[in-house]
Amino acid sequence: MRFARAPWTPGAAGLAAVLLLASAGGAAAARVFDDWRAACVEGACAAETRSRSGRTLLRISRRAGSKVAWHVSLLGLDGRLAKNAGIAFWVNGSPAARLSSPAELRMLEGNYFVADDDALAALFPGLRAGRRLAVSYVREQGSRRSLAFSLTGLDAALAWIDLRQGRKGSQQTVSSPGASGRRLAGDRAPQRLGNAEGGAASVLPGAIAKAHAADTECDFPKRQPQLFAESIVRGRLDATHVLFLLPCFAGPYNTGYRVYVHDERYPDDARPEFFATYSDARGWFGKADLINADWEPATKIITARELGRGIGDCGSLIRYRWTADGLRLVRYQYWEKCDGTHLADDWPVIYDYDKAAPR
């Protein structure tokens, strides 16, 4: 399989409109494969999916031609990368690639393109065979961001593109893996536990596994047990406490998680955490789930992003930090009107712990 060293060429610029044409009913052949959408226009093809937050696109595209290479790009990242920082890719919880130099990662109009052939050769097989992709990076402001993408349907989407372009079987030819160990010291990602044999029961404390299985509001583990096991997130909070994020229910763009803080001194205790939430209609109230939850190990922060609709122009963005007293709400952003005027970064802050009244 060949990969492009150049991030984007004039001849490939039309690929950016391929999926837009397909969505708008233009002259494009298009198919949906689980969480991925693929489309072709005049021989140029692209497959893409949105991040769990709904804001960032992961796109894999290729122009027409028997010797044209794949392009892999991230469109609409939440802020520019910090100087000398890179992007880390994790497939099913395992490090797949770490790109930082201009030769490896190129930026054009705020979008980033994987430009290193060895890194792509190492990353691509994992993308096609994996279930989940985690992407982490540091913004110019110094804050770390993590993105989650589903890989379910990607392999079928790329096989369909091969057929449309008359390159059936090309996906079986992969370049030499090269150096996949581009991980910098200190890089960390949430530990996703689905690779453990035996499924979720083999990686969860017994009391938590039992409690979650008995939770009548959680149908995700029963409907998709393998995907459930692969989506569990585990994080060390301190010497005696371990965090578990367990998928509970899933919709088109929101996945609800139960959150357990496991105290290893009391292995038989298993109670999900409760969290503050807000709506204009009800004001503040509590609930036992976080939507689209993720864990930032370096800062010990849980993030949650609940979308009112798929394009991400309304909803809530929440941050909890682990402290000696437990999980503390540190920031809550909220925008109820799905009117296209606000993306997540622009949602008003309705609670900020650091700016609250003196304690």
Most confident of 141-145, 294-298, 320-324: 320-324
**pLDDT of 342 over the 70 cut:** yes
Cα–Cα distance between 20 and 30 in angstroms, integer?
11
User: Mean pLDDT throughout 141-152?
Assistant: 83
Digit-coded pLDDT (tens) for 67-102: 777 888 888 876 678 777 778 888 877 777 788 766
Please give the residue that has the higher pLDDT: either 288 or 21: 288
pLDDT of residue 243: 95
* Residues 2, 66 contacting (CB under 8 angstroms): no
- For residue 273, the model assigns a pLDDT of 96
Domain residue spans of the chain: 10-172, 191-355
Torsion, CA 294, CA 249, CA 230, CA 245, rounded to 10: 40
CB 132 within 8 A of CB 230: yes
Residue 28 has a pLDDT of 54
Over residues 9-30, the mean pLDDT reads: 46
> Is-contact 245 148, C-beta < 8 A?
no
Q: Residue 358: which pLDDT band, with cuts at 50, 70 and 90?
A: low
* pLDDT at position 311: 63
Q: How does DSSP assign 271-330, residue by residue? A: -B--EEEEETTTEEEEES-EET-EEETTTTEEEEEEESSTT-SSEEEEEEEEETTEEEEE
List the alpha helices (DSSP H) in 96-252: 117-129, 154-164, 206-213, 220-223, 225-231
pLDDT digits (tens, 9 = 90+) for 227-274: 677 678 888 999 999 999 998 988 766 888 999 999 999 999 999 999
Residue 239 backbone class (left: φ over 0; alpha: ψ -120 to 50; beta: rest): alpha
Least confident segment among 49-58, 93-102, 170-179, 306-315:
170-179
Which is more confidently placed, 333 or 296? 333
pTM of the model: 0.52
| Reported confidence tier of residue 328, pLDDT bands at 50, 70, 90 | very high
**Dihedral-angle region of residue 7 (phi above 0 means left; psi in -120 to 50 means alpha; beta otherwise):** alpha
User: In whole numbers, what is the pLDDT of the chain averaged over residues?
Assistant: 77
Fold of 10-172: Immunoglobulin-like (2.60.40)
Q: Give the pLDDT of residue 258.
A: 95
- In this prediction, residue 316 carries a pLDDT of 93
The mean pLDDT value for 327-350 works out to 87
Mean pLDDT of 309-330: 89
